[in-house]
């Protein structure tokens, strides 16, 4: 049932190119002029009335939601707030008929996320769910559903579900952006062409980085602490990379917005401590590099993650993980893959139970 792989997690990591292909199938217009989301029945009138988007989820799905905030605010110029479901439901949220609520959940059964959905509905908000499980409670309760078609995810650590949640966010954003007339035709086509390349590029990462990442993960045999830093979308992915490592290898990992380090965390950066520095966003690249210099001044071991062809990064870090180049907007889909693989190999090297980490359940149906 593991298809020849030793664990479900690595099987599911390797299924990601297929999962990306499946979520895109039939959804990109043949002439690359827009996306087809027939399952979303929001009318043009309802879309024009959206004043705020509230994204609500837990864990990995919440991290996908943070990517969603950056993406939707940039493309739609509508304010987006992202909440952890167990916070949202108890904070008397400012949600009304002018709010579009986007609920993200792999299982569609997470108790807090389901309760948050009901709370949003009760306040008159329209709800779109991005979920993987057809007929799940969240799919049934939402007004509209964007299915992620990742297939069953068995490993507790979410991988292919996350990556397809990101695709769900891009598709929904492009759909709304077209209705609102906020995305110029040329930009739409360019984004769609790049989305279309992602499955192949994800496959390239799996084919070419496996050995390097397996070896690199040995560093976590010696270290119980590590840091993930980045700015913008890279920060959103840093959060997910650090959760993955904590969850399955029990290495303590902190994710920080790179500019925030010197407000406290820099005190923890010591000689040789591993730091993953994500550097895919050109508009903040120079700023991140100056943060990396602050980290290097404390003699940490810095591993950069950047697009192929980025020669600059090599001058500032100890090692680089190169990923195929895509639009900065779409980078999270590719950046997360090496981080998932690092976490996987760290877990294997440390002799942990990869698929069933201690204290955790696949679906959290209790509050």
3-state secondary structure of 123: coil
Number of chain residues interacting with ligand M6R (CB under 6 A): 15
156 binds ligand M6R (CB under 6 A): yes
Chain centroid, CA 144 distance in Å: 21
| Closest by Cα among 249, 178, 213 to 335 | 213
Task: Report yes or no: 298 and 271 within 8 Å, Cβ to Cβ.
Answer: yes
The strand pair at 126-131 and 252-257 is best described as unpaired
158 binds ligand M6R (CB under 6 A): yes
DSSP string, 40-104: ----HHHHHT--EEEEEE-HHHHHHHHHHHHHHHHHH---EEEEEHHHHTTS-----TTEEEEEE
110 binds ligand M6R (CB under 6 A): yes
User: What is the CB neighbour count within 10 angstroms for residue 183?
Assistant: 19
153 binds ligand M6R (CB under 6 A): no
Tell me the CA distances in angstroms from 312 to 304, 309, 331, one per residue in order: 11, 9, 18
Q: Which helix (H) or strand (E) holds 225?
A: strand 225-230
Tell me the CA distances in angstroms from 168 to 105, 145, 177, 245, one per residue in order: 11, 10, 14, 24
291 binds ligand M6R (CB under 6 A): no
347 binds ligand M6R (CB under 6 A): no
Determine the residue with CB nearest ligand M6R.
59
226 binds ligand M6R (CB under 6 A): no
Q: Left (φ > 0), alpha (ψ -120 to 50) or beta: where does 218 sit?
A: alpha
Two tokens, residue 167: 């695709």
Using CB under 6 A, which of the segments 101-109, 251-259, 271-279, 341-349 binds ligand M6R?
Answer: 101-109
127 binds ligand M6R (CB under 6 A): no
236 to 265: interface string for ligand M6R, x by CB under 6 A = -----------x------------------
State the nearest-atom distance from the C-beta of 188 to ligand M6R, in Å.
29
59 vs 168, beta carbon nearer ligand M6R? 59
* Four-CA torsion 105, 106, 109, 114, nearest 10 degrees: 10
159 vs 281, beta carbon nearer ligand M6R? 159
60 binds ligand M6R (CB under 6 A): yes
104 vs 198, beta carbon nearer ligand M6R? 104
Task: Report yes or no: 50 and 95 within 8 Å, Cβ to Cβ.
Answer: no
63 vs 178, beta carbon nearer ligand M6R? 63
Select the residue interacting with ligand M6R from 55, 61, 129, 279 (CB under 6 A): 61
State the nearest-atom distance from the C-beta of 144 to ligand M6R, in Å.
17
110 vs 125, beta carbon nearer ligand M6R? 110
Task: Report yes or no: 302 and 295 within 8 Å, Cβ to Cβ.
Answer: yes
State the nearest-atom distance from the C-beta of 60 to ligand M6R, in Å.
3
209 binds ligand M6R (CB under 6 A): no
Q: Which helix (H) or strand (E) holds 277?
A: strand 274-278
State the nearest-atom distance from the C-beta of 182 to ligand M6R, in Å.
29
| 311 given a catalytic annotation | no
Task: Report yes or no: 58 and 64 within 8 Å, Cβ to Cβ.
Answer: no
15 vs 247, beta carbon nearer ligand M6R? 247
214 binds ligand M6R (CB under 6 A): no
71 binds ligand M6R (CB under 6 A): no
What residues make contact with ligand M6R under the rule CB under 6 A? 58-61, 105-107, 110, 113, 156-158, 247, 363-364
Catalytic residue numbers, as ranges: 362
């Amino acid at each position: 049932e593991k298809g020849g792989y030793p664990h479900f997690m690595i099987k599911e990591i390797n299924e990601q190119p297929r999962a990306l292909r499946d979520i895109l199938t039939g959804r990109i217009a043949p002439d690359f002029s827009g996306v087809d989301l027939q399952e979303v029945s929001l009318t043009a009138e309802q879309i024009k009335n959206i004043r705020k988007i509230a994204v609500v989820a837990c864990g990995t799905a919440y991290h996908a939601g943070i990517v969603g905030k950056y993406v939707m605010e940039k493309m739609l110029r509508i304010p987006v707030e992202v909440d952890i479901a167990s916070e949202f439901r108890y904070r008397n949220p400012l949600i009304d008929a002018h709010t579009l609520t986007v609920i993200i959940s792999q299982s569609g059964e997470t108790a807090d996320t389901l309760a948050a959905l009901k709370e949003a509905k009760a306040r008159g908000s329209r709800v779109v769910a991005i979920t993987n499980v057809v007929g799940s409670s969240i799919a049934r309760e939402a007004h509209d559903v964007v299915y992620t078609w990742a297939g069953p995810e068995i490993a507790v650590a979410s991988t292919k579900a996350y990556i397809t949640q990101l695709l769900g966010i891009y598709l929904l954003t492009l759909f709304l952006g077209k209705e609102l007339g906020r995305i110029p035709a040329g930009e739409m086509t360019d984004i769609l062409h790049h989305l279309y390349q992602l499955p192949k590029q994800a496959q390239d990462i799996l084919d070419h980085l496996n050995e390097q990442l397996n070896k690199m993960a040995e560093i976590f045999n010696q270290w119980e602490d590590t840091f993930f830093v980045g700015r913008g979308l890279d920060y959103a992915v840093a959060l997910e990379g650090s959760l993955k490592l904590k969850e399955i290898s029990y290495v303590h990992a902190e994710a920080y917005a790179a500019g925030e380090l010197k407000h406290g965390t820099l005190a923890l950066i010591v000689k040789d401590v591993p730091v993953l520095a994500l550097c895919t966003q050109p508009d903040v690249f120079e700023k991140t590099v100056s943060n990396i210099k602050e980290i290097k001044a404390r003699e940490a071991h810095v591993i950069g993650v950047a697009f192929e062809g980025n020669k600059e990064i090599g001058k500032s870090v100890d090692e680089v993980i190169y990923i195929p180049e895509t639009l900065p907007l779409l980078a999270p889909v590719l950046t997360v893959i090496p981080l998932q693989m690092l976490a996987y190999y760290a877990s294997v090297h440390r002799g942990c139970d990869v698929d069933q980490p201690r204290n955790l359940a696949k679906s959290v149906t209790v509050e």
